[in-house]
């Protein structure tokens, strides 16, 4: 297959996944992000990279957020929100982080392909992303030609970017305001 063929195939696969995400779950998450005092983001591997990209945009929207594991991450306090991206919902360190957040009185949100997973069961809210992951899921995933969890990770990034657009609208932020918060130490 050619580059154009693969590019079209990948765009179509991600589009199929995003069209199957429950808008009500997204609305609940957007409201939680807007109303939380502080937001903590977590994920491992490629999913973790997508969560870090989300942290950059949230900061540019002037939403207080922290990436779990960074040296400047403060203590989670009661009422804070931990948002975890994990396709399998079973990543050991993410599960431990969610349990610790729960013990501290934090709220937990999970973006996952497996609503029956340990992380999903710990969550106060979840967004189900119907993409294939290592373990079987109770939701039928979109078929993919891509290796491993690529479709989940791509869908996670674009879903998070969609949430950024919703937040930008609801918080009445504009491009100039966001650009003013862009890093100037590069």
Cα–Cα nearest to 155, from 40, 1, 13: 13
- Residue 90 among the catalytic residues: no
3 state DSSP class of 178: helix
End-to-end CA distance of the chain: 39
What are the tokens at 169?
């609208």
Element (DSSP H or E) covering residue 102: helix 92-103
Q: Are the C-beta atoms of residues 37 and 79 closer than 8 Å to each other? A: yes
Strands (DSSP E) found in the chain = 39-43, 65-67, 81-85, 107-112, 125-128
* Calpha distance 45→151 (Å, rounded): 14
Say which of 25, 27, 140, 153 is annotated catalytic: 153
What is the 8-class DSSP label of residue 39?
E
**Would you please indicate which residues are annotated as catalytic (active-site) residues?**
153
């Amino acid at each position: 297959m050619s580059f154009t063929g693969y590019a079209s195939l990948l765009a179509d696969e991600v589009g199929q996944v995003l069209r199957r995400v429950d808008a009500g779950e997204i609305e609940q998450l957007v409201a939680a992000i807007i109303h939380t005092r502080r937001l903590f983001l977590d994920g491992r591997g490629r999913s973790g990279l997508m969560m870090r990209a989300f942290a950059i945009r949230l900061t540019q929207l002037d939403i207080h957020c922290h990436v779990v594991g960074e040296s400047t991450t403060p203590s989670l306090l009661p009422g804070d929100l931990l948002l975890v991206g994990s396709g399998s919902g079973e990543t050991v360190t993410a599960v431990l982080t969610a349990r610790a957040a729960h013990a501290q009185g934090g709220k937990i949100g999970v973006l996952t392909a497996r609503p029956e997973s340990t992380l999903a069961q710990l969550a106060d809210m979840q967004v189900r992303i119907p993409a294939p992951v290592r373990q079987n899921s109770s939701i039928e995933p979109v078929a993919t030609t891509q290796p491993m969890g690529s479709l989940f990770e791509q869908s996670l990034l674009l879903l998070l970017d969609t949430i950024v657009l919703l937040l930008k609208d609801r918080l009445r932020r504009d491009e100039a305001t966001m650009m003013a918060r862009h890093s100037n130490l590069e």
